[in-house]
Amino acid sequence: MLNRRTFLAATPVAFARGASTPTPYGAVPSARQLRWHALETTAFLHFTVNTFTNKEWGYGDEDPNLFNPTAFDADAIVSALAEAGMRGAILTCKHHDGFCLWPTKTTEHCVQKSSWRAGKGDVVREISQAARRRSLAFGVYLSPWDRNNAAYGRPEYIEIYRRQLRELLTEYGPIFEVWHDGANGGDGFYGGAREKRTIDKNTYYDWPRTWDLVRTLQPGAVIFSDVGPDVRWVGNERGIAGDPCWGAYDPVGTDGGPASPGNVREKESPAGHRHGTKWLPAECDVSIRPGWFWHENENARVKTPAQLIDLYYKSAGRSANLLLNVPPNREGLLQREDVASLKAFGEYRRATFAKNLLAGAKAAASQVRGRDRAYGPANLIDGRNDTYWATDDGVQSADATFDLARPATFSVIRVREEIRLGQRVDGIAVERWNAGAWEAVASAPSVGPRRLIQLERPVTAQRLRLRVTQASASPALAEFAVFAEAAF
């Protein structure tokens, strides 16, 4: 029989109950941002008349008939993305050339005027439905710049833009992300005017009213732009986040005044602001090829699996989301070379992250909040992101130690903060017990929703320690995991 005395004697720390939840520190994510963080890697699909004209930016005078994929297969496209571990897909429903991939009522410059599927086709519908079938979230890119529309530059175009958005946000089911590009290049067809039109980036689009429309029609969707309001552009198109890449950010315009899409001090975007007032996490958009659209002559320049893996560590591994563009070709399929890279990338991730080698280890910590087991270090290795190890308020350095039954060999480390309580940690170190002393394995200047560390060579240890070396508020960490990297 286990009475109270023997139970206490057998337990190294007497746990108490009912310690209070730590007070959130600084900016914190909204519910829609939390869902977005969990997606981690999503795909971009750049597809329009450019695919057929071999351009990156269509002028806006393209014949809709040019859009004629010969074997378009949304399920094949989405399946290849799913195999790569993508949890969402964002389609360029309208790029700068103004051609709409759905039968919009706002303009004739759309799929209805194409002989593709006798004018009855709807790329948005097919991709959104295929995404749903494979459990991928679906998002829309709608270029604010429209080089086809005669009204572009005048107030009435903003009404057209909002009507297009309304169609996309009401007719295609749940939308997880609405992507507003900051590019506004000037010249275009504009209904035949063939001229240069410049707009005031701060005032022309009246963004707050458009964002209100998104909130009303799709309250669960995050809104992306150079300035958010939910997700920020990372400031480059190479797919690389700052290190550290803070969740908080207060965008400032290029002249130091108010910021807007296309007018932001992008040098500050990769890192964000450590003590910024808004939770505005970074998204790394990057193409698997040199261009955003498919070009025959780039088939030999598709990023290799090793390059994709490297990008993954430099984006998602630093707490950003990776938005990887994989453009359909003229058949309306993903190119063979792209599919091969995606497949190997997916296999690497599935094999590498299959099992936290620390699962089942004996956990101890220098400090546990209120000595309450609910905040104990075992939460770091329980495979859940909603439980966490926390210390008492005012504690700014602490450590958690893990003892394994057998030595484990690993080459990747993953640490997560409980970001519902804000970003609290400013430094971590991982150490292994080796020949009677703690020895440094790795360190990082931030954690956030996800910190991945790829070691130069595998490390073997039976005893590991995670140290919080610096923090702005008492730490609250959700995960500590180590993995053996798969070969690829």
- Catalog residues that contact ligand FUL under the rule CB under 6 A: 56, 181, 183, 285, 292
Residue 324 Cβ vs ligand FUL, minimum distance, rounded to whole Å: 11
* Enclosing H/E stretch for 432: strand 425-434
- Cβ-based nearer residue to ligand FUL, 323 or 400: 323
Please say whether the beta carbons of 140 and 175 come within 8 A. Answer: yes
Q: How far apart are CA 3 and CA 8, in angstroms?
A: 9
Q: Which residue is nearest to ligand FUL (CB)?
A: 183
Residue 471's identity, in one-letter code, is A
Tokens of 55: 């351009």
Q: How far is the CB of 190 from ligand FUL (least distance, A)?
A: 18
Which residue in 380, 422, 480 sits closest to 21, CA to CA? 422
The nearest distance, CB 306 to ligand FUL, in angstroms, is 23
Give strand pairing partners of 89.
Answer: 43, 138
Q: Which residues contact 104 (CB under 8 A, 6 or more apart)?
A: 110, 164, 167
* Residues sharing a CB contact under 8 Å with residue 324, sequence separation 6 or more, in sequence order: 41, 42, 43, 44, 84, 86, 239, 286, 287, 288, 308, 311
Nearest distance, CB of residue 378 and ligand FUL, angstroms: 43
Q: Angle of helix 155-171 relative to helix 207-217, nearest 10 degrees?
A: 20
Closer CB to ligand FUL, 183 or 354, in the complex: 183
Residue closer to ligand FUL, measured from CB, 104 or 184:
184
Q: How far is the CB of 442 from ligand FUL (least distance, A)?
A: 33
CB of 410 to ligand FUL, least distance (A): 36
Measured from the Cβ of residue 411, the count of other Cβ atoms closer than 10 Å reads 17
Nearer to ligand FUL, 27 or 324 (CB): 324
Quick one: 56 or 187, whose CB is closer to ligand FUL?
56
Q: Would you say 234 or 452 has its CB closer to ligand FUL?
A: 234
DSSP annotation of 380: G
| Shortest distance in whole angstroms from residue 56 CB to ligand FUL | 6
- Minimum Å gap between C-beta 287 and ligand FUL is 8
d(CA 420, CA 37): 11
Q: Minimal distance in Å, beta carbon 233 to ligand FUL? A: 9
Q: Would you say 201 or 424 has its CB closer to ligand FUL?
A: 201
Closest contact distance (angstroms) between CB of 181 and ligand FUL is 5
- Least Å from the CB of residue 285 to ligand FUL: 5
Q: What are phi and psi of 400, to 5 degrees?
A: -125, 135
The phi, psi pair for 191, rounded to 5°, reads 65, 20
Which residues, at least 6 apart from 329, have a Cβ–Cβ distance to it below 8 Å? 51, 294, 335
Count, residues in the chain = 488
Whole-number CA gyration radius for the chain? 25
Residue 140 makes CB contacts below 8 A (sequence gap 6+) with 90, 91, 93, 124, 168, 169, 172, 175, 177, 178, 179
The residue (of 287 and 379) whose beta carbon lies closer to ligand FUL is 287
User: Which of 410, 365, 326 minimizes the C-alpha distance to 91?
Assistant: 326
Give the contacts of 299 (CB within 8 A, at least 6 positions apart): 335, 337
Q: For tokens 């494979």, what's the residue? A: 134
Comparing CB distances to ligand FUL, the nearer of 102 and 292 is 292
Write down the least CB distance from residue 184 to ligand FUL, Å.
9
Cβ density class 430-464: b for 16+ within 10 Å, e for less: bbbeeeeebeebbebebbbbbbbbbeeeebebebb
Nearer to ligand FUL, 57 or 433 (CB): 57
Q: Which residue has the tokens 């599927």?
A: 117
**Residue whose CB is less far from ligand FUL, 242 or 261:** 261
Compare residues 144 and 242 and give the one whose CB is closer to ligand FUL: 144
